[in-house]
Structure formats: structure tokens, C-alpha cells
Structure 1
Amino acid sequence: MGLSGRARPAVLAAGAALLAAACVPGTDGSAAGAPGPGAGTSIPDPATAGRVTLTVWDQEIRGGQNDELEQLNREFQEKYPNVRVKRVARSFTDLKATLKLALSGANPPDVVQANQGYPDMVAFVQAGLLAPLDNYAGIYEWNTRYPATLLNLNRVSADGRRFGAGRLYGISQTGEYIGLYYNKDVLEKAGLAPPRTWGDFTAGLGRLKARGELPVQFGNLDKYPAIHTFGVLQGRLGAARVRDTVLGHGPGFDTADTRAAAATLADWADRGYLPEGANGLGYEDAAKKFASGEGGYLLTGTWQLAQLKKAMGDRLGFMPPPPATAGGDPVTTGGQGLAWSVTSRSRHPEVAAAYLDFLTGGHAADVMTAHGVLPAVAGEAASRVPPDTVDGQMIAGWRRLSAADGLVPYLDYATPSFYDTLSEHLQGVVAGRLSPARFAATLQKDYGAFIRKQRSAPPAPAGAR
């Protein structure tokens, strides 16, 4: 990005297997040569585009994400004074609810963040609302900046039927994973140390409760937080099985893993390890309560780190969910942030592509690191973060997870309707209204119908979009 954006910054996680958990085996980006905007070989210069207003929709509304993006937007406009970035920032829930209408409207934005998987990115591609970026990937060397496993998460097949292969429809700025935040003061008062194993963690929940402390802060009014919590509980029981299922070739969701994870979540609620009435507590409100000292733990994503650190300072600790045995390989839900995509009706696709390049290069990675945000591909600044800080803990966890192939894709990628099915029925599990067995069967009904439809659909004609 900028002058350094076309260099090859080191991948934050070691090894060519980075995020293999989130890529479809056998995909090769075979549609990388597909026609699309930016078909030339020279690097487009936004300075020659005349007066441009680039409308950008994103969901980076909190803490460090908002700050790093505001800084990069300012720098992009300073570099190209002829370009104005008109930013529309919404929460994830609001973006998800309104983006398709905006994309199909009379004046669609130029750049959007699109969630990967079938409910959003694949649906937008099927509707012709996003532009393929393969030629830009060649021009800006995204194919060498990013591991193929990261790029594959933002690919959709030429027939529009599956994600993980085919044309590139976005690039992601951030890495992310669901981790365990802990309040050092609350744990110390309960005589607890940061857990080294999953057994240490779960045993400590009862101790916290007995001492009058809330063990796990949690708010599920927005519905998606339970997807993350449940995903951690399910993934630790069988990461490979869950991963294969999300990617369309696993055992499905009516399994012992699903039932056991749902039973654990229900048990936490029943024992009072979660806040009473958690389904009525907002996600951001729960984070604020944790920052103010209510709760020993908060199980959520790396995107909350900068905001929590600002409020808690040295009282905050962070780690991947602890492994089954001390020193063992960690496992959790994670991958990369929402893709930054160019819309198919953007009037300024080359400026939009230059903006994506600016947001994701080496300088951008350093800006993210400075703001406590985890970049998908590291810049030089990551190597200078002290390991004993909460930022250092986050970076070290990302390295360990990636080296161990311990990242399991987000469950809502699985089918076009799975986000709604999963989030709605997890509320029933948390409230004690839905048994683990019924929950697992309900998920499988959605998933099984989609897989049968996928397998029975005739092959797309040659040249299909």
C-alpha cells in the first residue's frame, strides 16, 4: 500500500499452511484470468481520474478498527487530493441487513465490506452486484502479498454456486480469531491464574461463581455473538469435522459434537456462568460491562482488543481458548475480516481498486498494528510489539493458531440461510427453550437441504458467470 504496498510483507503467521482451515482443498483460482475491470497491465493512477467521490460502506465502527481506517482514509485523500472518500460506517448487523438493498439500488457504493460465504458474498455474486478483481490482483501483486489460502476465502466459482474457488471478489484487511479475554484483577481476587488448559478454564468458572463474580460476560441481543461462542465449543471437539462440514463435505450438523457444544452452552446459562437474560443484552453493552469489571472472562474476537485495552489498560489479558492439555495446539473459530469488494456498478473501479491496495499493504499493516488491530498480512511493526503486552499476546496467538492449523471457519458460511437459522436457534439454546438434540436436527435440516440441492444441480454451461 502506498509506496510500500507492492512489497512483499512477511505473513504474520508462519508457514504456507496459514489459514488452511478456511480454504477449500483443491482450489486453484482457475478463473484468475477471467475478464473484468482493470484488464490492462499498468498500475492505474487515481491522480489522473479527475474529481472522484468514492463511496465506501464498512462495519469498522469500534475502537482501533475505526481509528486505523480513519487514518488510512485521510492518508489516501492526502496522496490523491482529487479523491474524496465518502464513508458510510454501520454495525455488522446493520450492514448485513442493508447492504444488498444498497448494492441493487440506483446509486450503489463503490467499495463495500462483504461477509464471505453463501449468505452474502456468494449471493451478491450470483446477483451480479460485485466485480471480479483477478486482474487487479495481478497488477497490484495481491497474489504474492497474500497466501492463496486467504485469497481463496474471497473466491466464488464461475457458476456462482460455491465459495473457495474461482474468481476473486475481495481482499481482507484484518486477520481475526475468537479468543479469551480475561480481567487479571477479577481472576486474582478469586485465586485464579490465566488458564493453561480447557479444564483449568471450566473449573475456574465455578470458583468465580461461588465468589459472587460473573464468570463469562456475554450479550446475545444481536444474535451473532452466540455463533462465535458456540463455534469455539464445537470446534474444540472436532476441528477437522466442523471445517469439512462448513466447506460442504463433512458429517453435517446432527452430530455428537454439535449436541455436546449446545449442551455446554445451555449448561453455562443454567449454572449462571452467563448473565441472566443474556439474549436481551447487546454485544457492545456486554463488552462495556466486562471493561468495567463485570466478568472474569469475555469470549469474543480480536476486533475488540483495542477498545477493551483503552478502557482496562494492564488489567486486560488475552489468549486463544486454552487447549485440552498444557502446551497443546490451540483451536478456535477465526480466519480473516470481511472482504473489501468493488461493486459491479462503481463508476470508478480503478480508483476503488487502488483504494483496496492502499488499505491492505505494508504501511496499512503497520498502521493497524499501531492501533491494536491484527493485520491479515503483517508489516514490519508487528515484530516490534513487546510479547508481554496484550497486543503481543494477540499476535503470538495468531502465530500459534496458524502454525497448528487451528482456525475453524465461521459456521454461518455453510449455507445461504445458515446465519439466520443458527443465530435464531442459538437464542433458544441459551434461553433453555431448545434441547441440544432438537437444535442439532434443526441445523441439519437447513444444511442437508442445501447440500442436496448443490449436488443435484446440473453443471453450469461453459462461460457461465
Structure 2
Amino acid sequence: MTTTRRGRVGAAAAAAAAATALFLASACAPGPSGGGDTTPAAPTNEVSKDIASAGEVTLAVWDQNTDGGISEAQEQLNAEFEKMYPNVTIDRTVESFSDLKTTLKLALSSNTPPDVVQANQGYPDMGAFVSGGMLRPLNDYAELYGWDGYYPKSLLEQNSFSSDGKTWQGDTLFGVSQTGEVVGIFYNRKLLAELGQPVPTTLAELDSAMAAAKAEGILPMAFGNLDKSPGIHLFGVVQAALAGAPAVTELVSGQGGAWTDEPSRNAAQEIARWAQQGYLTPGTNGVSRDDAIAEFSRGGALFTLTGTWMQQPLQDAMGTDVGFTTLTSESGPATTGGQGLAWAITSKSAHPDVAAAYIEFITNAKAAQLLLDTGNLPTVLPSDYQPEPGTLAADIATQYRDVQKADGEVPYLDYATPTFYDTITAGMQELLGGQADPQQFVDRLQKDYAAFLTSQK
């Protein structure tokens, strides 16, 4: 049987509270901390696919697959896994993304962490977990299950670190992802046609369409930033359209550039102007992501900006009236995206072979088809997948393939430093609320970024 968040949230909170002191002492920043070496030891046992011989196993799994289609898919996959392996029971805890970021950091520090978790890539989460010795390296399982041949190298690199957690995109794999993701613009086909506007593929076209909507008394973009993480997506999309994917990728990876460079500053100016001119939902910092998307789905706005994980809910609500597009920079397609959170095995799991078999089961080619059937985007699209033209599914598949082919996907911006999630989300709330101007916003990002780069030398 599986247990949902309603039945498990108390246990999650208890584990989090019990581990707070230990986490704060050992896992606040990349690189070993405290007095001992926290680098995870390389696994020494031979790995196996023989799950039946593991005996009766309860596999504790924590994930953030809460949205419509992906929640349905996860339940189906869990049930099918238990049917294939009757000796295994999946004990599932499901949290929202923001809740998981809070509770997981604490629970992994306890003596009884879950076996399998979804870990956000980059320094703030995966890097801290790796440096704290909390995640098991997966290179051996990648060889056993062929993950290093199934997934594009660039996506495996996003789920990799050096073994000490100091270098993102290092030589050690710590997770694989189940879903592909593209952050872009969902649009109301009917309203866009009535306004006589083309489907926007550039920032200028998007701005023109929003101005036309505003002139007709239509909310240009339903956008809620109460949850904080949507602000990262908004800035990421606009920044990529102005700077291009190569420049932003280098910036996030610490390979070049600065957050105070002209394209980033111009992106902040553009977003501040949208807020000032009423292009975004009024009081956007006090509006939840779900409420903003619901407003769009009811026909209350021309656009909403979010990720492809909202495909099934919007398709269910709007049918053929909803479309999806991404923006192109001067250097080609460019938008935030790549893949969903990495599925990882905790270092204290007593059942790593079972955990690896579970991850393989929910991410392989067969799982990809189930994900498509439930309105989701798998990390690796089947080569013969061709959805009906003119549908939301077709729009998303086309954009995902085109952006990947052009190397136009930019990593999520919060991967940049251990503290960047808090820095950029707070900064975006101030920028949207008018408490900070664009220069102050980019200065704040650069201060965090520069301090981290200095600490790495």
C-alpha cells in the first residue's frame, strides 16, 4: 500500500524536528564541515537486480509529485512496482516542492532517513546532501541499468557532483530524473486570436501581446509569487531571452559572466516594468501559483508562465483552448528547463538494490509511456512519439525537442550557489513589490555569487 502526505506529514515533521541540530551543524554549505570527513564512501558491495531475494522490504519514498497528472502517474507506478515485487511495500510521503526543501534537509540528517528521495539539483540541496554524506553515489547502478546510455550526457551532468559536493557537474552521479521540464508561456488560443496577435516566440512579441491585452481590459499574465519559486522561473525565462542560453548556462555554472551584466539588468528592468504597468496579477506576491494558474484556466488572462508539469491540469481545464510556447534569443532557443528533481538513494538506506530497482522502474522507457498517457513529459521522449498536431501535448513535445536540439535549455538559476535559492526568491519578491529597483536586485545576486566563487578558490 502507499501512504499519502495526509497520512505521513506528521512523521515528516517529527523527523525534521529531530534532525534540525544535526543538519545545521553538518549540511549547511558545500564541502565537508565540522571536524570529520563527511564525503560519502564509495559503495563496496556488489550491486544486484535480484529484488525477490531481499525479503520483505518497506521502501520509504519521499517525493514532490503533487500536480495533477504526475501525482496520478506516481500512484500507478508505485502500484505496478508492488505488483511486480510483492515483497516490497512503498511507503510514500508526498510534499509540495517548498515543503520538501524544508523537511528533506532535516530528515536526511536523522538516523532513519527515507530510502529514496527527490533531491533538487545544484548546490543548495544536492550539493549540501553530498557534502554531508547523505546520498549514495550511483555510478555502479548507472552501469547496471544502462542509465549512462539512456539519458543524454548533459542531463546526467546536472545530477552529478564531485564526491565531496564542492563541484556541481562533477564525476559522480547521485540521481536520475523521471520527467523533462521546460518553463515557458501557456497561452489562451481564443483570446490571442481575438487580439490578432501571433503566438509569441520573442520577448518583444510577448510584450506586444501583453500590451494589446491590457488595452482591451484583459489581464496580460496570471502570475502568483506567494510560493517564491515562480519568481525564479519568471526571471529565468526573461533573462535567457535577452542573454541567450550559453551565457546564462556559463553564469549559473560559475564559468563566466556576472549577474550585474547588461542582459540580466535589462531582464530585471523588463519584469519591474511589467509589474508597474499591471501586466501581472495585482498583488502578485500575495497570490499563490495555483490560484494564478486557476485564473488563467478560467479564461481570466491571456498568458501564464510556468513549467510543463502543468500540462495535464491545464489540458483538463481548457481543452484545445490552451497552447504552449517558449522564447528565442538572438543566439537561438533559450529558456529555463531540463529535467525534474533527481531521484536519489540515501546513504543510510538498508535496501539500496531495491531502491535502485524502484528508480529504474519509475524512470525507464515503459514508465515514459505511462507518463505520456497521464499528460506528463518524460525526461527521454520516445523517438516515435508524435502527438496530434494543434494540441497542447504537441506544442510541449515540439518545444522540448527543439530546445534540446539547440542546447537552449538553461539550468534553474538557484543551482548557482548554496544560498542562491533564498537570495533570488527574496530578491524577486522585492523587485515585483517595488521594494528594490533592478540595479539593487542584480547587485544582491552578484554579492551572493561572488562570495561563493571566492570561497571555492
Q: What is the TM-score normalised by the length of structure 1?
A: 0.87
Distance 1:395 1:357 in 2: 23
The answer to whether the aligner puts 1:280 opposite 2:286 as a matched pair is yes
The answer to whether the aligner puts 1:294 opposite 2:300 as a matched pair is yes
Q: Is the 8 A contact 2:324 2:392 kept in 1?
A: yes
Distance 2:446 2:192 in 1: 39
Does the residue aligned with 2:385 lie in a helix, a strand or coil?
helix
Alpha-carbon spacing, 1:95–1:201, altered in 2? closer, same or farther (3 Å):
same
How far does residue 222 in structure 1 lie from its aligned partner after superposition?
0.7
Per-residue CA shift, 1:165-204, capped at 9, x if unaligned?
A: 1211100111101111001122233333423543222111
Counterpart mapping for 1:18-33 below 5 A = none
Counterpart for residue 335 of structure 1:
338
1:252 to 233, 258, 263: 258
What is the total number of aligned residue pairs between the two structures?
416
Does the residue aligned with 1:182 lie in a helix, a strand or coil?
strand
Q: Is the 8 A contact 1:199 1:324 kept in 2?
A: no
Distance 1:405 1:340 in 2: 23
Counterpart for residue 16 of structure 2:
none
Counterpart for residue 172 of structure 1:
177
Greater CA drift, 208-217 or 142-151: 142-151
Letter in structure 1 aligned against 2:337? G
Per-residue CA shift, 1:418-446, capped at 9, x if unaligned?
A: 00000001101001110111111111110
Counterpart for residue 249 of structure 2:
243
Counterpart mapping for 1:12-161 below 5 A = 35-36=42-43, 39-40=46-47, 43-161=48-166
Q: Is the 8 A contact 2:201 2:325 kept in 1?
A: no
Greater CA drift, 293-302 or 250-259: 250-259
Q: Is the 8 A contact 1:123 1:416 kept in 2?
A: yes
Distance 1:154 1:414 in 2: 14
Alpha-carbon spacing, 1:454–1:196, altered in 2? closer, same or farther (3 Å):
closer
Identity of aligned residues (%): 46
2:204 to 180, 195, 199: 199
Letter in structure 2 aligned against 1:148? K
Greater CA drift, 99-108 or 410-419: 99-108
Letter in structure 1 aligned against 2:368? A
The answer to whether the aligner puts 1:378 opposite 2:381 as a matched pair is yes
Does the residue aligned with 1:113 lie in a helix, a strand or coil?
strand
Letter in structure 1 aligned against 2:419? S
Greater CA drift, 100-109 or 225-234: 100-109
Q: Is the 8 A contact 1:37 1:135 kept in 2?
A: no
Counterpart for residue 427 of structure 1:
429
Alpha-carbon spacing, 1:399–1:38, altered in 2? closer, same or farther (3 Å):
farther
Letter in structure 2 aligned against 1:253? W
Distance 1:403 1:384 in 2: 17
How far does residue 310 in structure 1 lie from its aligned partner after superposition?
0.8
Per-residue CA shift, 1:8-65, capped at 9, x if unaligned?
A: xxxxxxxxxxxxxxxxxxxxxxxxxx8316534xx42211211111110000001111
Distance 1:167 1:296 in 2: 44
Q: Is the 8 A contact 2:130 2:164 kept in 1?
A: no
How far does residue 282 in structure 1 lie from its aligned partner after superposition?
0.5
Distance 1:163 1:372 in 2: 31
Task: Compute the RMSD of aligned alpha carbons.
Answer: 1.5
Does the residue aligned with 2:399 lie in a helix, a strand or coil?
helix
Per-residue CA shift, 1:227-257, capped at 9, x if unaligned?
A: 1010111111212221111101111211111
Letter in structure 1 aligned against 2:333? P
Counterpart for residue 30 of structure 2:
none
Distance 2:201 2:136 in 1: 46
Q: Is the 8 A contact 1:174 1:374 kept in 2?
A: yes
Distance 1:84 1:299 in 2: 38
Counterpart for residue 393 of structure 1:
395
The answer to whether the aligner puts 1:443 opposite 2:448 as a matched pair is no
The answer to whether the aligner puts 1:363 opposite 2:363 as a matched pair is no
Distance 1:397 1:196 in 2: 11
Does the residue aligned with 1:177 lie in a helix, a strand or coil?
strand
Alpha-carbon spacing, 1:74–1:221, altered in 2? closer, same or farther (3 Å):
same
Alpha-carbon spacing, 1:197–1:424, altered in 2? closer, same or farther (3 Å):
closer
2:223 to 215, 218, 225: 218
Gaps of 5+ in 2: 1-40
Does the residue aligned with 2:301 lie in a helix, a strand or coil?
coil
Counterpart for residue 348 of structure 2:
345
Letter in structure 2 aligned against 1:418? F
Letter in structure 2 aligned against 1:117? G
Q: What is the TM-score normalised by the length of structure 2?
A: 0.88
More contact order relative to length (CA 8 Å, sep ≥ 6)? 1
How far does residue 379 in structure 1 lie from its aligned partner after superposition?
3.0
Does the residue aligned with 1:356 lie in a helix, a strand or coil?
helix
Letter in structure 1 aligned against 2:233? H
Greater CA drift, 126-135 or 383-392: 383-392
Distance 1:39 1:257 in 2: 50
Distance 1:160 1:314 in 2: 45
How far does residue 403 in structure 1 lie from its aligned partner after superposition?
1.2
Greater CA drift, 179-188 or 121-130: 179-188
Counterpart for residue 319 of structure 2:
313
